[in-house]
């Protein structure tokens, strides 16, 4: 279970890392069953992008979705 603050810290860290890529669109904190997570929106998705964005960071769930 992650708090909003933890999820927002992960979102900001990912935003700094991913914003230089053309496929990155936006990131938001979302409510999930056991707390909060991060949703990363991308223009398109492939295996390279899946490898760049891990599914869990510091106990915070990270989901990737096409815009």
- Domain of 22 in residue numbering reads as 4-66
> Which residues make Cβ contacts (< 8 Å) with residue 1, sequence separation at least 6?
34, 35
Q: What is the pLDDT of residue 14?
A: 97
Q: What is the pLDDT of residue 1?
A: 81
pLDDT means over runs of 10, the chain (67 residues): 95 96 97 95 95 95 95
Q: What is the pLDDT of residue 3?
A: 96
CATH code for the domain of 43: 3.30.300
State pTM to two decimals.
0.92
Return d(Cα 28, Cα 32) in angstroms, integer: 12
Asked if 29 and 7 count as a contact pair (C-beta separation under 8 A), the reply is yes
- For the chain, the domain total comes to 1
């Amino acid at each position: 279970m992650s708090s909003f603050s933890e999820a927002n810290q992960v979102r900001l860290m990912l935003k700094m890392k991913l914003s230089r890529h053309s496929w990155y669109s936006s990131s938001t904190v979302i409510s999930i069953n056991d707390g909060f997570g991060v949703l990363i929106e991308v223009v398109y998705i492939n295996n390279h992008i899946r490898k760049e964005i891990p599914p869990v960071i510091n106990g915070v769930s990270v989901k990737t979705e096409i815009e």
